[in-house]
Amino acid sequence: MPPVTFNIWRGGAEGGEFKEYRTEVTEGMVVLDAVHQIQAESANDLAVRWNCKAGKCGSCSAEINGKPRLMCMTRMSDLPVNQPVRIEPMQAFPSIKDLVTDVSWNFEVKKRLKRFKPRKPDAPDGSWRFAQADTDRVQEFRKCIECFLCQDVCHVLRDHHKHEEFIGPRFFVYSAALEMHPLDEEDRLEDLKRANGIGYCNITKCCTKVCPEHITITDNAIIPLKERVVDRFYDPVRMLLRVIGG
């Protein structure tokens, strides 16, 4: 197989550019392998973050031919190699160096969100009882590996930089996992509407499309939360009933 050309973004917070590299691609290689090979052969100082190479740690997020993806889960055989493969860092977060971005904003957001608040234990030994059927719905959300690809593709963050007012799809998934949990007693609706900016989501489903864990982010987490927010803040009949009912 002839060598494949890669255009890899090199630079940091002050700016950067695409540099061209060529390397041999062999059977079974993923994009992360190719990047490591380039690092070994011709760019020893190329910065790339990775850890598990198994699609589970969420470290190797980048944009491959314009699509947010995990480098370790993108097979070279699935990419057209008759033209250069373009690899660049996530666009919704500040650059550190080359393919590595600073995703710490996400951890700050998570600290702000209300924690899990279970009701009092059901049994004297401090344990709870609940039906499996009631947690089936939130199980999907727990697959999240915090790769932040959904945050990266969401135009509210990526293009409009609403990082102060909008927590992004990853944290709607997190909020949904807690809010819909049968044991949880916390009330997050006020926060979702105001501080967390759920109204900014305009249901493009881009987050759902890029999630490597195939979490149905928009349909199963965001829209159901939006509907709960409607119950509380926008449905006139429900609001009236609440006033009458005290």
How many residues does this entry show for the chain? Answer: 246
The answer to whether residues 55 and 72 touch, using CB atoms and an 8 Å cutoff, is yes
39 binds ligand FES (CB under 6 A): no
Stretch that binds ligand SF4, among 15-23, 189-197, 198-206, 229-237 (CB under 6 A): 198-206
82 binds ligand SF4 (CB under 6 A): no
Stretch that binds ligand SF4, among 25-33, 117-125, 183-191, 206-214 (CB under 6 A): 206-214
Select from other proteins, ligand FES, ligand SF4, none the partner in contact with residue 44, using the beta carbon and a kind-dependent cut-off of 5 to 8 Å. Answer: none
Beta carbon nearer to other proteins, 56 or 91: 91
50 binds ligand FES (CB under 6 A): yes
Number of residues lying near other proteins (CB under 8 A): 59
Give 60: exposed, middle or buried? Use CB within 10 Å, 0-12, 13-18, 19+: buried
Stretch that binds ligand FES, among 44-52, 98-106, 192-200, 238-246 (CB under 6 A): 44-52
Which residues sit opposite 23 in a β-bridge? Answer: 4
Residues that bind ligand SF4 (CB under 6 A): 144-150, 153-154, 156, 169-170, 173, 201-207, 210-213, 215, 217-218, 222
Residues that bind ligand FES (CB under 6 A): 50-53, 55-60, 70, 72
